[in-house]
Amino acid sequence: MSEPAAPIEPIVAARGLRKKFGRKEILHGLDFDIPPGRIYGLIGHNGAGKTTTLNAMLGLTACAGTIRVLGLDPFAHRARLMRDVAFISDVASLPRFLRVRELFSLLSSIHPNFSPDKAHAFLQGTDLKPELKIKNLSKGMLAQLHLAVVMAIDAKLLVLDEPTLGLDITYRKRFYRRLLEDYMNEERTLIITTHQVDEIEFMLSDVMFIRDGTLILHQPMEAVAQNFIQLVSNDPAQRASARALGPVFEETRFGQTVMIFEGVDRSRLQDLGALSSPTLSDLFVALMQRPTAIPEPTP
């Protein structure tokens, strides 16, 4: 009889993760595991705790509770951990006073798994030349340079914090598609924060919504599609019946009532209006609101 497969160790494991700045608590006891080979979207409003959570993973801030990245305490073993972790924020963070070749040389000295040869190879056939200064690059060229940096780092965990901020939609889509097609594999894990929720939905395996320092959703995308249903109705009787089933969100759009349900069997809703799966941005709007009473139906 074959031995049972060993459990897969998570890339990131957090238990009771808390962080205070002064008297204000920013993270309220987060518990989560992030397994290898997954693409996570960490999504929340500004000030929700996204950056603090990322900083805890990267060893940039100490927190109460425990967090382990690749089995290590990131705050205590940051230098060792950074051999297998890469962090890239928005393209505005690239040092504008350097030339492209100087940036690659700097990254070679900072990150042991950065390959300047791979970065240069990725830029072949583009207008990005080694002698160009970063400050003179267009936004599109900055996106290409940013992607070249990402692709040239052999890391087990890649953290992207608003990596396409300020770029137009063409370059944002190109950035994510190349990242998905040419970089990801079953041994790498990718965590992305962004405000352009719809643009990364196609590539996510899992999603985490963080609101006011609390994780309010942490599910694989397959589970999200099964657990949440959107109903659209313009019939008052249907609305009343649907409302009795406890929607987590309700609003009026162009004279129609839109409701989102969690954990309600589809068969109970199918005669009450048009059903569909909510987009990630619709779900974001529904779940990221602070709890309020659902308004009473209008007469």
**pLDDT digits 0-9 by tens, 51-107:** 999 999 999 999 999 999 999 999 999 989 988 998 888 766 788 999 999 999 999
Q: Does domain 224-287 have CATH number 3.30.70?
A: yes
Tell me, what's the pLDDT at 206? 97
CATH match for 12-212 among 3.40.50.720, 3.40.50.300, 3.40.30.10, 3.30.460.10: 3.40.50.300
Angle between helices 116-123 and 100-110 (to 10 degrees): 150
CA 141 from centroid of its chain's CA atoms: 24
The three-class DSSP label of residue 230 is strand
Residues of the chain with CATH 3.30.70: 224-287
The three-class DSSP label of residue 26 is strand
CA-based R_g, the chain, Å? 22
pLDDT of residue 5 exceeding 60, the answer is: no
> Burial of 153 by CB count in 10 Å (0-12 exposed, 13-18 middle, 19+ buried)?
buried
Residue 122 pLDDT grade (very low, low, confident, very high; cuts 50, 70, 90): confident
Query: What is d(CA 244, CA 229) in angstroms, rounded to the nearest whole number?
Result: 15
Mean pLDDT of the chain: 89
Supply the pTM of this predicted model.
Answer: 0.87
Choose from 120-134, 135-149, 224-238 the range with maximum mean pLDDT.
224-238
In the numeric block, the tokens 């927190």 are attached to 63
pLDDT of residue 16 exceeding 80, the answer is: yes
Tell me, what's the pLDDT at 260? 96
The DSSP string of 226-273 is HHEEEEEE--HHHHHHHHTT--SEEEEETTEEEEEEES--GGGTTTSS
Judging by DSSP bridges, how do beta strands 64-69 and 39-43 pair with one another? unpaired
Tell me, what's the pLDDT at 131? 94
pLDDT of residue 174 exceeding 70, the answer is: yes
Tell me, what's the pLDDT at 259? 96
pLDDT tens digits, residue range 176-199?
888 888 888 888 999 999 878 888
Tell me, what's the pLDDT at 92? 63
Tokens representing residue 221 in the block: 């995308």
% of the chain at pLDDT higher than 70? 94
What is the arithmetic mean of pLDDT over 260-289?
93
Annotate 57-83 with b (16+ C-beta within 10 A) or e (fewer).
bbbebebeeebbbbebebbeeeeebbe
Residues of the chain with CATH 3.40.50.300: 12-212
